[in-house]
Structures are given as structure tokens and as C-alpha cells.
Amino acid sequence: MQDVAPVEQAETAPVTAPQRTELRRGRKKKKAKRPRSALRNEIFNLPNILTMGRVAIIPAVMWMMEASSTATAGPWTARWAVFWATTMFSVASITDFLDGWLARNLNLQSAFGKFLDPLADKLLVLACLVELVALGRTPAWLAILLLSREVAITGLRAIAADEGFEVPSDRWGKWKTALQMVGLIGLLLHFPMHADFWLLSGTVDFHRVGLALLTLSMLFSVGSAAGYLANFGRQTFARHRDGAPAQAT
């Protein structure tokens, strides 16, 4: 007992001002030695660079779409603007498939890419739909239905991620994306054009073709949304039935 008393007295001794200064310096040094985050490496890998390029090209696509209106530009200028808007949108759509393929095959999948890739797709489609409504090439109700579906599914996926599981896309969703992209390309081309194929030739009304495909994509959009809800419900009930612990909020 006599040996322990001095130790207890030393431990409870008041801390002097110089000691407090040394403690602060030690804390600052520890904070300076934090491990470097891998986020910078994830941002600048090839798939994510392509995804960020898809976001960066959106203002240029909208600018060309605005210039393609015959109300503000001559017929020749409008057709050139249509060509460039369609070309840039097509390149952006190709990178949507290319960045995912590269991430899987080069083992470059990242949390940043999983966040940015669907966001870039939605921003591109959102921008084009809003501009098409402004140009009078797409009815507002169709754009509202398509965008409402995207917002609802994004929220559903966020809830699923918070619960600890994923809601993968189905065939309906893949068909919806393909029809939507091709339909938007048709609406971007807009003007009737003479086309010569191998055995067929004639005038193609790209506006009507694009609008028909975009309307068809809306039907697939509703079907894929129902599939997402059913999948989400099955996984949620299965987790509660198996007694999976709920995460704190």
C-alpha cells in the first residue's frame, strides 16, 4: 500500500501550463499523420474520367440544342447545331456503357464511380428532356413521368443502401435505357431527312420516330419501376423475417 500511494498522487497531480502546451503539440502532430485517402486515386482513374467527361459535355449539348431552333437561327445553322448536339449526345451515351465495361474488366470499380455514374446519366437525360420541352419537341407530361420515375428509383436505391442491400436493375430497366437513348437521339435530329439504305430509301421523320421510342421507353420505365419495388419489398421482408438487425438512424 505504501508503494501505490506515490503513484496515485503523481497521477492526480495538476497539469502545468508547459505540459498542456506539449499535449497540444502532440495532438497536432497526430492529426498531421492521418493516412492519405484513396479518393483522389479513384477520381482520376479512366472510367471515372469518362464519367466526369459525360457531365462536362452537358452544357455544350444544351447550347447546341438551343441553337438548333429555327425560331432563333437560320435553317442551315439549325441543321449544323442538330448535327453537333446529336454527335455529342451519342458520344456521351457510348461512354455510359464504356466506363462500366472498363471498370469491370480493369478492376477499377470504386465507390465514387458507383455514385457518379448513375448521377451523370440522370443529369444528361434531365437536361435533354427539359430543353426538348422548352423547344416544343416533347410533351411536358411525358418528361414529367420519366423524370419522376428516375427520382423515385434513386430514392428507393438510397433506402436500400442504408438497409445494407442493393436493388439491381432488370431487363425492363435495360430496355428502358436503350429505348430512351435512341429516342432522344431521334428527337435531337428532329428534322425529316432523306435516307438511303441497302434496299430501302425514303424520307425519315426523326421527330416522330424519336417521340414514339421515347413514349415506348416510358412504358418500359413503368414496368422496371414495378420490378424495383417488388425486388425491394422481397428483400426487405426477407431481412425482417430472418431477424436482420435494423441499422440506427
Q: Give the start-to-end residue ranges of the domains of the chain.
A: 39-136, 139-243+245-249
Quick check: pTM over 0.75? no
Q: Give the tens place of pLDDT for each residue, 209-230.
A: 999 999 999 999 888 888 888 8
Q: Give the tens place of pLDDT for each residue, 82-141.
A: 999 999 999 998 988 888 888 888 888 887 888 888 888 889 999 999 999 999 999 999
Locate cell 430501302: which residue?
A: 200
